[in-house]
């Protein structure tokens, strides 16, 4: 079910943010003038990743009981794939 939410893109955004911070630290030690742009890019990737993590929670559909409903077609397709892999 986590695969349906596509949280992998958010994790990639966080990884790019960490790589941007590492590049910023290396560039500040070597007194490079454009290092601030890497810090700004890292912050942008962190904010983008946070929004991607929150997006499925905010826009999920709820049924009458308050439970989150998933797309039934995608759930049925995943169950069919799982049954084919086990047999």
pLDDT at 70: 54
> What's the full length of the chain, in residues?
87
Q: What values do phi and psi take at 69, rounded to 5?
A: -95, 135
Please give the structure tokens belonging to residue 28. Answer: 């500040």
Alpha carbons 23 and 41: distance in angstroms, whole number: 11
pLDDT at 42: 96
Non-local CB neighbours of 15 within 8 Å, separated by 6+ positions: none
For residues 9-36, give the mean pLDDT.
94
Over residues 38-56, the pLDDT tens digits come to 999 999 999 999 998 888 7
Domain ranges within the chain, ordered by starting residue: 2-86
pLDDT band for 27, please (50, 70, 90 cuts): very high
């Amino acid at each position: 079910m986590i695969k349906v939410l596509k949280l992998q893109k958010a994790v990639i955004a966080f990884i790019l943010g960490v790589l941007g911070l590492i590049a910023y630290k290396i560039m500040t030690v070597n007194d490079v003038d454009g290092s601030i742009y890497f810090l700004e890019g890292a912050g942008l990737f962190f904010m983008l990743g946070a929004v991607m993590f929150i997006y499925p929670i905010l826009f999920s559909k709820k049924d009458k009981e308050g439970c989150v409903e998933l797309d039934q077609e995608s759930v049925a397709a995943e169950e069919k794939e799982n049954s084919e892999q086990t047999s």
